[in-house]
């Protein structure tokens, strides 16, 4: 069994209002060394297969068809073995 870990980020140049708000809040808490904060989302997907290459293809398709919008998102996929 495999698990895919997909990290979906905003593309470089896309405004990240949530990240900006977090930076502001951290400054208000006196974490003044913070210069920038970016928010991304991680989706973990368990797959009933041991074929890593095929799993990568399928998860990439999932990203293109649902999980990411190519206009604003980049994503990376990591595949690992799991036993549960």
Residues that bind other proteins (CB under 8 A): 14-15, 17-18, 20-21, 64-67, 69-72
- d(CA 2, CA 9) in angstroms, rounded, equals 23
Which CB atom, from 43 or from 47, has the smaller least distance to other proteins? 43
What are the Cα distances from residue 69, in Å, to 31, 44, 46, 55, 80?
Answer: 33, 18, 22, 20, 24
Residue number, 17 or 32, with CB nearest to other proteins: 17
Give me the least distance between CB of 17 and other proteins, in Å please: 3
* Min dist. Cβ of residue 81 to other proteins (A): 26
């Amino acid at each position: 069994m495999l698990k895919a870990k997909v990290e979906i980020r905003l593309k470089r140049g896309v405004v990240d209002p949530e990240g900006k708000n977090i930076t502001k809040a951290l400054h208000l808490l006196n974490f003044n060394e913070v210069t920038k904060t970016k928010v991304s989302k991680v989706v973990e997907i368990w797959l009933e297969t041991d074929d890593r290459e095929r799993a990568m293809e399928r998860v990439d398709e999932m990203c293109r068809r649902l999980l990411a919008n190519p206009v604003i998102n980049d994503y990376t996929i990591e595949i690992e073995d799991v036993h549960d």
